[in-house]
Amino acid sequence: MSKPLEGIRVLDLTRVLSGPYCTMLLADMGAEVIKIENVRGDDSRAYPPFDKGISAYYANLNRNKKSVKLNLRDEKAKEILRQLIKVSDVFIENFKPGTIDKMGFSYESVKALNPNIIFASISGFGQTGPYRLLPGYDVIAQALSGMMSVTGWPDSPPTRTGTAIGDVLGGLNCCIGILAALQGRNSQHHGERVDIGLVDCSVSAMETITEIYMVEGRIPQRAGNRYEFIYPYDSFEASDKWIVIGVGNDKIWERFCEATGHQDWYEDERFKLNKDRANQKDILNEMVTSWTKQHTAKEIIDILRAHSVPCAPIHDIADVVKDEHIAKARKMICEIDHPIEGKMRVTGNPIKMTEADEYTYTKAPVLGKDTENVLKDILHLDSDAISYFTKEETE
């Protein structure tokens, strides 16, 4: 067995989150990812939290990669990158549109060097359209996509999600686009440009919420933790902490009423069908909460799971990291070698495969660590040529 992307070489000119998240997935799945960093390195090397002086932010997103330090203001360094382009499969960048062109590596120029290369770009607004040159960050994508308008409680201001979901969605969609383009290259025998806008990705993720307006003409509002079309599908307060319950259809409603000992709820015509329950959400919320507050979270989970009613405690991050299923059985919390000393923990890859080798995670590279090996092993440069770049690294 082997990893599915073995033999694919990726030149990664991205930094911070959206691009490195994409190339992290590619590297985990076996691609050779060569991270091209400037003389200061990826900005996220300076982002907290720090473990023995190393950014855990950087270490998590840049495991399994090689680091080559190149000052792309230097013509000799640009020539090195051109030579690497000729022997690579993917070129990915997340600069503001036009920046990579000014550096001398536009899609057209990269394609001229390697017609089969997949050229991927992540930016705030994509490579076309009237907003293309505006600066774009995760919070901009969440704002413009409408995501913030429906996140939070009815009486709260618009709220961003607790994680940088716009950047993560950009990285995921870029990864999908690259994989599709690689497959397309097998049959069409040419490269491709993948153009990812963070705003586009966030708009796509809004799915049904956008359809509400386009079909009904109604602008969806913030609704807390409840779901627009289903109830009870919400967070509820137990005697000790908060939980969620997901009564997703009429059969589950029947089981829920049986589990809670409230056959009277099931027989109540106000709650007969899901659409009825959604219309009576405020009343149902009070009724369900009156039951949950009489029990601990564990008691509720045990009762409802015994009746196959979807439910869960609302974990804090400490709970996640210790969870038997998430952290251990599904290996979503993993140990890797620390770049300097000992071990450190990172989040695992969520894409599980049966026939491929199990994921292994190597430590994130020290800035420029692989410059000499890449120049020697891939480009076959002699020691004199290599010394120009390795000497630069010590200055």
Catalytic residues: 167
Half-sphere exposure of 35 (CA within 13 A, CB side): 32
β-pair type (9-12, 90-93): parallel
Q: How far apart are CA 60 and CA 346, in angstroms?
A: 5
What are the E-state strand segments in 154-295? Answer: 192-197, 233-237, 242-246
Alpha-carbon dihedral 49, 53, 59, 60, rounded to 10 degrees: -30
For residues 387 and 214, what is the distance between their CA atoms, to the nearest angstrom? Answer: 61
Report yes or no: 346 and 359 within 8 Å, Cβ to Cβ: no
243 contacts 311 by C-beta, under 8 angstroms: yes
User: With contact defined as beta carbons under 8 Å apart, do 54 and 62 qualify?
Assistant: no
3-state secondary structure of 198: helix
CB 243 within 8 A of CB 292: yes
Are the CB atoms for 99 and 73 separated by under 8 Å? no
SS3 at position 92? strand
Q: Are 234 and 224 in contact (CB under 8 A)?
A: yes
Paired sense of beta strands 90-93 and 118-123, if any: parallel
CB 26 within 8 A of CB 10: yes
Tokens 């491929």 locate to 356
Q: Which of 69, 46, 73 is nearest to 59 (CA)?
A: 46
User: H-helix or E-strand containing 139?
Assistant: helix 138-144
Q: Which residues lie across from 308 on neighbouring strands?
A: none
Burial of 226 (0-12, 13-18, 19+ CB in 10 A): middle
Backbone angles phi, psi at 359, to 5 degrees: -65, 140
Question: Could you tell me which of 33, 26, 55, 54 has the C-alpha nearest to residue 359?
Answer: 26
